Amino acid sequence: MQKLKSFILFLLEIAILSAVLFFLRDKLLHSHGHEVKEYMTMLVDIAFLALFASFGGRLAKMLKIAPMAGKIIMGIVAGPALLGVIDPYAHGVELARLAGVLFILFEAGLHFDMELLKKNFVISTTIAFVGVVIPLVSFALLGHYVIGLEWIPSIFLGGIFTATSVGLSVEALKRAGKLETNIGNQIVGAAVIDDILGVIVLTILAKLSATEASTGGMNPFVLLAISVVGFALATYFLWQWGVAHKIASYLGRNYSDNSTGIFTRFFFGMLMIGGSLAAVIGLEPVLGAFGMGVVLSKVDNEIKHQTWEKIEGYMHIFVGAFLVSIGTMLPKAAVVDYKVWLWAILFTALAFAGKYLTKYLIKDKYEGTLVGMAMTIRGEVGLVFVAVALANKALDETMAAAALLAVILVTVLGAILFEKAVMKKQPDEVVV
């Protein structure tokens, strides 16, 4: 009886919050003041995404599922699929989504052990490569020979399910205290390489789909290869030379006065610079955020930890908003069209199996399961693929909706199973 009362109260709270948000957005959008109409609407969207994330955490506790999954489900409830009080493409929502991913990947880079990656590079690369090839090929064959799509749309369909969500995997590893373990490093390393491969596939497909692409006369694939290699080498050498530590030491001598304020601004500035530079050279900003986090990982540990404690308080707002925003991407058509659901269920099963097979690349059974589960989580990169496919008219509405629904389903399923597996305590875990 108490659980029923709590659930009814929970629904009432959601209804009240939704009504307040609907009222405020409507009034703000009809305001005559530019700052109020544009910027206050963005701030309200971000604030309410964070509030819905809190509801998602509570829902997860009630249903005994992973907090990440609960927040994504709340996004589905608040988005166009059900209540429709959050527009997934509103400027504030898109800003929160981008900021959340940047913060998550930046933190992953800060905790990433480059020395450990050197030891795990072969296995991480193998996992990533297999995790990209299997879904790419299987979905492309399904799209062309079963669904009847042309090859480019079929490969686009496969590309949607290639990349792993580094952000969601990192969040689960962090909650379990395994982010800085050997297996945690293998998972993050594989996911990052996986995302780089996914971005390469996405860029190639976008170039092939574009009728008129201009890259200043240079072959787009050569330009992409230069960008990827340049990103990797720049990250490694900046880390190897300890550039961030030297800058932090300079700031400490000349600007710090018993406060980490200057370091907080330094970290935030470097995060934005890293993401922007990656975008400028044609890569995803999230990879730049990760690379800058790796570079800053050599900063003195005491400074790094004290600075991150200050940033983390704000980070949770955007991380929660990011998780909710994933759920809002589900269109209403995906809920009412049975064809979309049938294709989505098939896509989900195939997408999960394609990544989970990577578990057999690891000798240890428990660690193999963790790797397989972690690689099944899709998320932000898959959503980017769907958006690019729609922009290039590579997929029709049914296939695009089915693919989007499948990305959300496999993300929720993967998040639940991975967090359940990663929370199991193992006495022989090695923390670095």
Do 135 and 358 contact (CB within 8 A), yes or no? no
Residue 143, pLDDT > 70, answer yes
Q: In this predicted model, what pLDDT tens digit does every residue of 88-125 receive, in sequence order? A: 889 999 899 889 888 888 887 887 777 777 777 888 88
pTM of the model: 0.77
Cα dihedral 377, 383, 385, 390 sign: positive
Helix (H, G, I), strand (E, B) or coil at 79: coil
Do you know the residue count of the chain?
Answer: 432
Give residue 387's pLDDT. 67
Is 282 in a helix, a strand, or coil?
A: coil
Query: How many whole angstroms separate alpha carbon 400 and alpha carbon 349?
Result: 17
Sequence-ordered list of residues with C-beta below 8 angstroms from that of 328, at least 6 positions apart, any chain: 75, 76, 78, 79, 80, 86, 87, 88, 93
- The pLDDT-based confidence of 391 (bands split at 50, 70, 90) is low
Tens of pLDDT, residues 403-431: 888 888 888 888 888 888 887 755 454 44
Per domain, the residue ranges of the chain are 2-78, 91-422
Residue from 290, 366, 371 nearest 127 by CA:
371
- A 10 A CB-CB count for 15 gives 11
* Cβ atoms of 274 and 291 closer than 8 Å: yes
Distances (CA, A) of 126 to 85, 182, 360, 414: 43, 16, 11, 21
For the record, the structure tokens of 305 come out as 């930890």
Name the fold adopted by 91-422.
Na+/H+ antiporter like fold (1.20.1530)
**Residue 33 CB neighbour total at 10 angstroms:** 10
**Is pLDDT of 145 > 80?**
yes
299's CB contacts (< 8 A; 6+ apart) are: 244, 245, 248, 263
For 53, the token pair is 């994330």
DSSP β-bridge partners for residue 181: 431
Mean pLDDT, the chain, whole residue set: 83
Q: Supply the DSSP symbol for 16.
A: H
Q: What is the pLDDT of residues 302-336, one digit of tens each?
A: 888 888 888 887 888 898 898 898 888 888 877 78
The owner of tokens 């390469």 is 200
208-236, pLDDT tens digit by residue?
665 444 444 456 667 777 888 888 899 98
